[in-house]
Amino acid sequence: MAPPRRPGGRTPDAGPQEPGPRPPERLKQRSPHGAHAAPGAPAREVLAPGQTPWSTEPESSFSTWARRFFRGLVVVVLLLAAISGIRSWISPNRTPQTVVSSQSTFPADEARAVATRYAVAYLTWDENNPDARPAQVGLDLASGLDTGAGWNGRGKQTADVAYPGQVTPDPNGLTAAVDVRVRVHTFTRQGSNAFTAGPVVWDRLSVPVVRTPARVVVSGPPTFVPDERAPLPANMPGAGKPDDDLTAATEKDAEAFFAAYAESDNKVSAVTAPGSTIRSLNGAVKFGQLKDWQVYAGNDDVRQATAAVTWNGVGDTTLDQTYTLTLRRTVATDGAQRWQVAAVG
């Protein structure tokens, strides 16, 4: 007599199965006591000894794809962190942006206007009219600062022309220094209160300014800075190799051009290359002589040239100037060729 079968036991294998990849499965836990069953539902059967409290379910293709996608995303983020550096993500270097922003947003034009007017007032004084200077200085000096601006109340001089130059903002973006060149008429004392005109000089100032919510103002007394001559840089571009044959062949044409250039637009247009527009000096000076003329080697259609010209002014005044010109080769309908001025400067 055969022994009774145990409930829930495994059924004998149907036979050996061919090896191959198993499809993804999901484990689903059984509850032997039916704790999670819906109210009123029949309780599940009690598990037999040795029977696992879960069963397997095939996993959906979407779940497999999502798991692989997020796993790949994590790998990509880690690679980017290694390449760019985690430190640059946490604390990026913003210093260059701050410097550029302060320089580009500083009101440079207003700063030049304020510094120029202040420089003229600062370098003008007269002991016979001592109240005039503080009134002019106070137009641009920050309120609360001394409008005497360092003057001891003695002497006389007048500033009449000023040229602003470079504006150098500080990294804070609020303050800056403005470079100003000022022409000053000096006076020499004659007697107790009399003055005679002295030499005319040029002074150079560095004027400190600050921007406020209302406007740009001068933030303190300026300082004198040296205004020295500077030599030409060593890497100045050269004119090129001289073309002596073309120089000799075009010298008379150059003289005719500068004679017309001094007189009128109509005359200069008759001797310039076709398609070029060159305005004349319109009688401001008269052509004296062509002291030097040089054409340089180049291509067959365009050349560069330099000319040293003497202009005759009023009376017996003369003035020498050097010009750079562009020459263009033109061909007439009869085949004749000539070089004409296409541009000045």
Tokens of 345: 């400067």
Domain match, 110 and 210 both = yes
* The pLDDT value given to residue 297: 94
Domain match, 250 and 323 both = yes
CA nearest to 252, candidates 283, 303, 295, 296:
295
Domain match, 309 and 285 both = yes
Domain match, 121 and 148 both = yes
Domain match, 327 and 269 both = yes
* The pLDDT value given to residue 23: 57
In a domain, 273, yes or no: yes
Domain match, 88 and 131 both = no
User: Residue 116's domain is classified under what CATH number?
Assistant: 3.10.450.540
Domain count, the chain: 3
Domain match, 127 and 185 both = yes
Domain match, 258 and 185 both = no
Task: Select from 192, 224, 256 the last residue of a domain.
Answer: 224
Give the whole-angstrom CA distance, residue 66 versus residue 70. 6
Give the whole-angstrom CA distance, residue 143 versus residue 210. 12
**183 contacts 202 by C-beta, under 8 angstroms:** yes
CA nearest to 149, candidates 127, 134, 130:
134
Query: Please, is 322 exposed, middle or buried when counting C-beta atoms within 10 Å of its C-beta (0-12, 13-18, 19+)?
Result: exposed
* The pLDDT value given to residue 259: 96
Give the whole-angstrom CA distance, residue 100 versus residue 66. 46
In a domain, 285, yes or no: yes
* The pLDDT value given to residue 99: 44
In a domain, 98, yes or no: no
In a domain, 74, yes or no: yes
* The pLDDT value given to residue 306: 96
In a domain, 207, yes or no: yes
Give the whole-angstrom CA distance, residue 166 versus residue 231. 20
In a domain, 12, yes or no: no
pLDDT one digit per residue (tens) for the chain, 345 residues: 455 555 554 544 545 555 555 655 555 555 555 555 555 555 555 656 666 665 655 656 777 777 777 888 888 888 877 777 655 656 666 554 444 445 668 999 999 999 999 999 999 999 999 999 999 999 999 999 999 999 999 999 999 999 999 999 999 999 999 999 999 999 999 888 889 999 999 999 999 999 999 999 999 999 999 998 999 898 988 878 999 999 999 999 999 999 999 999 999 999 999 999 999 999 999 999 999 999 999 999 999 999 999 999 999 999 999 999 999 999 888 888 899 999 998
Domain match, 138 and 78 both = no
In a domain, 264, yes or no: yes
Helix or strand (DSSP H, E) at 246: helix 244-263
Rg (CA), the chain: 46
In a domain, 321, yes or no: yes
Beta bridge partners of 185: 158, 200
* The pLDDT value given to residue 70: 80
Domain that holds residue 202: 106-224
* The pLDDT value given to residue 44: 57
Domain match, 161 and 68 both = no
Domain match, 147 and 74 both = no
Tokens of 95: 């210093």
Number of neighbouring beta carbons within 10 Å of residue 183: 16
* The pLDDT value given to residue 76: 81
Domain match, 207 and 110 both = yes
